[in-house]
Structure 1
């Protein structure tokens, strides 16, 4: 795996994300499979993790979890969490991003396949419910944790967060341990994966860490994994951002220049940096594979 540290959106940040790139012919141990235009399963090794069926009118998707999901990341020890230190700082996110990238590369049950990926702090909240109940209330509202089955309404639940196994209760032993780390300010981030087939994030690692943060009414720190935008899409986004910047600067330098152009010129530069960063860490569609015929009628497949 080749890794590239991505440019930050602002000058006062030292890290904007991690860009892992895998060689051709890398096959994932965790992968979506699709059939008939609206049937989907997430497979991990020989096991079906969940099955789903998209509405014919494309308004949402019904899903069923099987409780067979296994994290591709080995358990994170408290000593390791405390050794990283500096929670929330760019360097802290960078260290955890490299830690997760190494774990995913080594794991035979993770989602990485050939091509370019992004690990970043970007968490899109468009379309998710908004509440005024603090971090715990906001995250409870965006969690798609009906178990074992549920429904993602794409009008109200897009960009939500789906656990791949049952969320542990606040008094679970692991959650208690992580709650202590949360109070100490050393709780590692939750690792999410952007799954475009469901139009939401799924939790790759950190179910208990997320439960701990919610139990403490703290905003969970997250790192999101997604496929990197295609070169064509990145080039188009870059061209649009540069075009907007050049248009703004031409207005500032036009026949009626401002007396003091420093503030609007600075704002235009910051907007350009933000837009270029968003292009670099944007979420590309999740790749899916054709569902084998045997899986279409086997246990755990969607209802026909």
Structure 2
């Protein structure tokens, strides 16, 4: 059995920035949901032995091709059970600054309790990704929405962003998508029924401003996010033109940060000289500059675990070719197989 340990993450100003999760346990086989990779920048996201998507990175490294096989998924044990009305009401009445913190803890506790198998042993980070107003974009359409984690520089944590234009359609998913990495695409794993009873309920919660966040898993090879929980919540937000909120899960590795002592000393001397010459030098600015100068905490870099399970590029290409031929959507097949950017998209 895996063991989970989590703690709150704060920046140097004491502001909450997410959760740090350590997962330990004996080596296990492949989980229900996992990535397979192969040569020539090919990958597949698998649910047991069923491919949910195929992906390949363009040779220009400006984006990737995605071939989706959206279908109902039957989790043997859902990573997050259905959220009930009592939980929604409890979080709804929390102060705004506490709501995302509480929802993050809720999701992590649920993942721990149900031993979510896609969370392989190692270090993970859960961070909120919130709507941000961007004035340079005009209009109120979904394509102008922008979401981001806190962009301050002192947390040393991964920073995520996404644009509304990168939210892929889960009502009538297209088999082929070009993933522009500037968009931070959101990929659904199954179709959504707009007439389902829970859709009506979630739309009501969206209008009441009590919609829980959508839980995402960052997949580094695609520079995109996979929806783990919240397909219907996301669709309800879109239907009501309400900007959703997200919690992004990512496995990370830490790298030491070793400041140069000579540089530190020069910065220190410069700050002291400024302080002596300017009696009105702001103390808080001075202290923050000193803290930043001597901050040697490690940096977190996002890493996505995968299994080298694609036998050959030929196998991957044959699967994609057959899938697209069966759906009569082969217009982009050559670009996909050759890893070329789309001429028009």
Q: TM-score, normalised on structure 2? A: 0.69
Q: Kindly indicate whether the alpha-carbon contact (under 8 Å) linking 2:215 and 2:248 is maintained by their aligned counterparts in 1.
A: yes
For residue 204 of structure 1, the aligned residue among 228, 235, 238 is 228
Change (3 A) 1:284 1:113: same
Query: Structure 1's 47 and 241: CA in aligned 2 closer, same or farther, altered over 3 A?
Result: farther
Question: Which protein is bigger by CA-based radius of gyration?
Answer: 2
Q: Give the RMSD, CA atoms, in angstroms.
A: 3.8
Q: Which runs of 5+ in 2 are unaligned?
A: 146-162, 322-336, 338-345
1:164·1:203 contact (CA, 8 Å) conserved in 2? yes
Greater alpha carbon shift after TM alignment, 262-271 vs 173-182: 262-271
| Residues in 2 aligned to 1:66 and 1:46: alpha-carbon distance in whole angstroms | 13
Question: SS at 1:229's partner residue?
Answer: strand
Residue 113, structure 1, aligned to residue 120, structure 2: yes
Pick the aligned partner of 1:149 from 172, 176, 185.
176
Relative distance call for 1:211 and 1:240 in structure 2 (3 A) is: farther
More relative contact order in 1 or in 2 (CA 8 Å, sep 6+)?
Answer: 1
Q: Is the 8 A contact 2:72 2:191 kept in 1?
A: no
Give the equivalent residue in structure 1 for 2:253: 229
1:8-157 aligned within 5 A? 8-9=10-11, 11=13, 13=15, 15-24=16-25, 25-27=27-29, 28-68=31-71, 70=73, 72-86=79-93, 89-107=96-114, 110-122=117-129, 131-134=137-140, 136-137=142-143, 138=145, 140-145=164-169, 147-154=174-181, 156-157=182-183
2:185 is the counterpart of 1:160: yes
Q: Secondary structure at the match of 2:221?
A: coil
Cα deviation per residue 1:194-245 (whole Å; 9 max; x = unaligned)? Answer: 1101011221111211122233333212111001232xx1x22xx4599988
Aligned residue for 1:185?
Answer: 209
Unaligned runs of 5+ in 1: none
- State the Cα distance separating 1:291 from its structure 2 match: 1.3
Q: Measure how far apart 1:9 and its partner are.
A: 2.5
Q: Measure how far apart 1:147 and its partner are.
A: 1.9
* Equivalent of 1:253 in 259, 272, 291: 272
Q: Secondary structure of the equivalent of 1:150?
A: strand
- 2:286 aligned with 1:265, yes or no? yes
Alpha-carbon distance, 1:7 to partner: 2.9
Give the paired residue count. 289
| Counterparts of 1:80 and 1:133, CA distance in 2 | 34
SS of equivalent residue, structure 1 residue 186 = coil
